[in-house]
């Protein structure tokens, strides 16, 4: 049996402002103001001060839904190189879906190239998948790129400001050099082979690429090939990160 994120700590209904403050939406006082302003909706009805919510209730603040659906699972996988980001591969190569429990069935959220390593989410939640992959929601993805040579400051500035690729100019990126041949790059677009093409365009092809963060999620303890269920707080944090489109 699977259990989804729970908004409340126990089985008993709790005061709404207590739950809102635990979710990090605001202090209790600030949460009371949100409720009074009619910005908090429980199970489709605008909440009022004094309302309580329990497990299974659906909460939305300014249109951002915090779900308690018990059937939702989200895995965080540390994808090794050489594993395909699909559910099944006609060539019989190992797939990311083969690295997580078979039931309930989940699909990868977006895609990492065959040779790219690092963090990948898999879920059976279609809304989460859509929002995490759609550029308008702008979820940040951070990569560590080991590149050939050592990019100059000017080359790094080009990465930062946006680069003309054959499918258009890239949006501004966060870029920092960690050591001469290693660059941390944070983007929120997710086009096909984007980081590899950006580095290629500045004359420093990628030798190794690792995704180190997805929105608020990072985990340095997961070994390659290992996965784990997200905690309730992580799922709620993710929902907050993808709350509203840019």
195 belongs to the binding site for ligand URA (CB under 6 A): yes
Query: What residues are labeled active site?
Result: 113
112 belongs to the binding site for ligand URA (CB under 6 A): yes
Identify the residue among 132, 209, 214, 242 touching ligand URA (CB under 6 A). Answer: 209
134 belongs to the binding site for ligand URA (CB under 6 A): no
Cα separation values, 118 from 112, 157, 202, 211, Å: 9, 25, 23, 5
144 belongs to the binding site for ligand URA (CB under 6 A): no
Cα Rg, the chain, nearest whole Å: 20
> Which CB atom, from 131 or from 211, has the smaller least distance to ligand URA?
211
> Which region, judged by CB under 6 A, interacts with ligand URA, from 44-52, 89-97, 173-181, 193-201?
193-201
230 belongs to the binding site for ligand URA (CB under 6 A): no
113 belongs to the binding site for ligand URA (CB under 6 A): yes
How near is the Cβ of 190 to ligand URA at its closest, in Å?
Answer: 7
> Which region, judged by CB under 6 A, interacts with ligand URA, from 19-27, 34-42, 112-120, 155-163?
112-120
116 belongs to the binding site for ligand URA (CB under 6 A): yes
How near is the Cβ of 198 to ligand URA at its closest, in Å?
Answer: 8
196 belongs to the binding site for ligand URA (CB under 6 A): yes
Rounded to whole angstroms, the Cα distance separating 150 from 160 reads 16
> Which CB atom, from 6 or from 186, has the smaller least distance to ligand URA?
186
Residues engaged in binding ligand URA (CB under 6 A): 112-113, 116, 193-196, 209
């Amino acid at each position: 049996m699977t259990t989804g994120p729970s908004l409340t700590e126990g089985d008993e209904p709790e005061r709404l402002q207590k739950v809102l403050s635990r979710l990090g939406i605001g202090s209790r006082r600030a949460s009371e103001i949100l409720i009074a302003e009619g910005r908090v909706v429980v199970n489709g009805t605008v909440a009022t001060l004094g309302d309580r919510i329990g497990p299974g209730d659906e909460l939305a603040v300014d249109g951002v839904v915090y779900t308690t659906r018990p059937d939702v699972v989200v895995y965080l996988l540390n994808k090794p190189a050489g594993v395909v980001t699909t559910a099944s591969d006609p060539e019989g190569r190992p797939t990311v879906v083969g690295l997580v429990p078979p039931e309930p069935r989940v699909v990868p959220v977006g895609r990492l190239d065959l040779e790219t390593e690092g963090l990948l989410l898999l879920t059976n939640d279609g809304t989460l998948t859509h929002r995490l992959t759609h550029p308008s929601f702008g979820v940040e993805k951070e990569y560590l790129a080991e590149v050939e040579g050592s990019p100059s400051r000017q080359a790094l500035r080009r990465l930062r400001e946006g680069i003309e690729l054959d499918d258009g100019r890239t949006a501004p990126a966060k870029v920092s050099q960690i050591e001469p041949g290693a660059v941390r790059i944070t983007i929120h677009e997710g086009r096909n082979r984007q980081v590899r093409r950006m580095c290629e365009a500045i004359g420093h092809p990628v030798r190794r690429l690792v995704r180190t963060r997805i929105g608020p999620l990072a985990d340095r303890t997961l070994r390659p090939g290992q996965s784990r269920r997200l905690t309730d707080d992580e799922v709620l944090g993710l929902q907050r990160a993808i709350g509203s489109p840019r």
